[in-house]
Structure 1
Amino acid sequence: MEQRRRVLIRRQNKSSEGEFIWELKNSYELSPKLSEQILITAKESLLRDNQLSEGQIEVTVIAIEEGSGKLIEKMGKKKVRLTIDNGLEDIEVIKEYGRIGLREIKIERITEEAIEQGGVLSQEDISKYLSVSLRTVKRDISRIKQRGIEVITRGYLHNIGRGQTHKVKIIGMYLDGKTYSEIKLIARHSTGAIKRYLESFTKVVMAQSKGIYTKKEISAVTGISEGLVKQYLGLIKESKKDKIRRENLKDLITRNSYRAGIKKTANRYSKPLGAMMRGSL
């Protein structure tokens, strides 16, 4: 166990993310926790659509709108990017839940990434991209379902429909009033991942509160895929019917409006203050 822990730490330190965090901690004297949060924000803001991130692959899969009954060669295809290795976040998961837990997280992640980009994976695709047997994939999916989370594969999609993806499920738990610790226990996602899902959801909530309603417009201003925006809009609509969720939605808007006000005030005074500090005023 101790040897595995040392191996994971070495792997963490050797990655580009580890190098970035080392710089923040040592060159800027930031705490490990703050350094990790800056890393998450930087990844979301700077590595959007232009290039593959470290740990990603680009593959061609069946388009989500394709029904069954066609030959595969006659079906529409989509190029999608899948995150096979999510760096430090995956290392945290393997520390806490082991290799099986990490593999389950990867299955949830890549199936959802494909859906968000207009494609859908089959269980055979998952087996191929994660380099495990089809039997292992089926067993993992069965365990994930026992936690109340659906894995949207091609077979599931055509038999039942899209259902709720793990991000929507996790945000739903938050809106129900569950704590990060409770959500983490149920969903087996890291606290950082849960906060990241909530942050992206909040962007959609705030866009709506500012009068931006269409999927395309919200996607453009938030940098979130239209597929995920659609899921979030559905969750918002459904949550407004429930008293507790409705209150938590209002709380999200209030808290983030307050943060936006602080930023606006800071921006208003930052230039004259900077000039004064430099002796220009």
Structure 2
Amino acid sequence: MRDIEISKRMVAKTPEQWFLRIMQEGYNFSPKMSESLLAETELCFQGNKKTKIGQQKVILVKRKEKHGRPIKEVEKEEILWTINAGLEDEQYLCEYGKTELRQKRIQRLLQEATEQNGIATQEDLARVLHVSVRTIKRDFSVMRQAGIELVTRGYDEGIGRGQTHKSEIIRRWMSGESYDQLVRSTGHSSSSIQRYIQKFMQVVEISKQGFEADDIGRLAQIGRGIVDQYLLIYEKAKKEPATEKWIENQRKRIFYPVQRKRALKKGVL
């Protein structure tokens, strides 16, 4: 009995209970109305995405929104940004330095924004990274000169919505860049790059079995847009015999390792 009383007192001390009491006693709202208002308030201020250490929720303009309308009138999207990726960022800092770590974070934040249907500005980046807009502009200049695609509001329409970092990573991988080179040049983690490549090869494998794009997306658990991009990359690659042969070898290595080992023992490959 005493434990129950203690629990009730603890509940009464929570911010939620304090809010409900204010709504009911101060504004004469019914208990049900107060609870509904509490739920809406929590959603507004806390959002519906759970944050981890190093992450931050931000509100960005939806990617589909055009220019010309006042910012307060355009649709917004709640975005979960990874400001600090922990050990991954610490290792990158030790190896490449402070400036390159910031540039890596810029690329990661922009990618996370587009993946969550948002679009960031250079001002958004400057605010969460605690640097000046001038610093962000300087980083952008360096990265774009290196051929890195940076999708921001104001630049999004010019590069075409069909292009993604994932497709660019696949192209660079097929051209011979190693994982370490891709990590440094794109700002994506090694595990993310490996996942993109595995999905690309999965699309290739499923398409060779005769499935259509919609079925490929369902089986590979990726969006139709990414499927179309990967298939386009594959179709272009097939026009170059050396690249097609390389992809075929990768496909056999990934999906048919047992058969490949047997062939090696027999001296076939």
Deviation at 1:60, TM superposition (A): 2.3
Q: Which residue of 2 aligns with 1:72?
A: 71
Specify the alignment match of 2:56 in structure 1.
57
1:197 alignment counterpart: 196
2:167 corresponds to 1:168 = yes
Q: For residues 81-230 of structure 1, what are the structure 2 equivalents within 5 Å? A: 81-162=80-161, 164-183=163-182, 186-187=185-186, 191-214=190-213, 218=216, 220-224=218-222, 228-229=226-227
Output the CA distance in 1 between the equivalents of 2:225 and 2:76.
16
- Structure 1: gaps (5+ residues): 1-48, 263-281
The 3-state SS of whatever aligns with 1:150 is: coil
2:203–2:220: 8 Å Cα contact kept in structure 1?
Answer: yes
Aligned to 1:236: 234
Q: Distance in 2 between matches of 1:53 and 1:137?
A: 25
Say which structure, 1 or 2, has more relative contact order (CA 8 Å, 6+ apart): 1
Distance 1:179 1:155 in 2: 32
TM-score w.r.t. the length of structure 2 is: 0.65
Normalised by the size of structure 1, how large is the TM-score? 0.62
SS of the residue corresponding to residue 72 of structure 1 reads coil
> Secondary structure in 1 aligned to 2:247?
helix
CA contact (8 A) 2:179 2:190 kept: yes
Maintained 8 Å contact 1:149/1:164: no
Q: CA offset at residue 229 of structure 1?
A: 4.8
Kindly report the root-mean-square deviation, in angstroms, between the aligned alpha carbons of the 2 structures: 3.3
- Decide whether the 8 Å contact of 1:108 with 1:166 is kept in 2: no
Deviates further, 91-100 or 70-79: 70-79
Letter of the aligned partner of 1:133 in structure 2? S
SS at structure 2 position matched to 1:74: coil
When residues 212 and 172 of structure 1 are mapped into structure 2, their CA distance, relative to the original with a 3 A threshold, is same
Identity %: 36
Partner of 1:46: none
CA-CA distance at 1:211 after TM superposition = 4.7
1:69 shift after superposition: 1.1
Aligned to 1:255: 253
Mean CA deviation greater in 96-105 or 224-233 = 224-233
> Residue by residue, what CA displacement relative to the aligned partner does 1:239-274 show, whole Å, maximum 9, x if unpaired?
344434333332332222215989xxxxxxxxxxxx
| 2:71 partner amino acid | I
Contact 1:60/1:77 (CA < 8 Å) preserved in 2?
yes
**Greater Cα radius of gyration, structure 1 or 2:** 2
Verify the 8 A CA contact 1:152 1:162 in the aligned structure 2: no
Q: Tell me how far apart the structure 2 counterparts of residues 234 and 124 of structure 1 sit (CA, whole Å).
A: 34
CA–CA distance in structure 1, aligned partners of residues 238 and 83 of structure 2? 35
Cα distance in 1 for partners of 2:248, 2:71 equals: 46
Structure 2: gaps (5+ residues): 1-47, 261-269
Following the alignment from structure 1 to structure 2, what is the Cα–Cα distance between the partners of residues 212 and 58? 39
Going from structure 1 to structure 2, the CA distance change for 1:113 and 1:182 (only over 3 Å counts) comes to closer
Q: Do the aligned residues in 1 keep the contact of 2:56 with 2:81 (CA within 8 Å)? A: yes
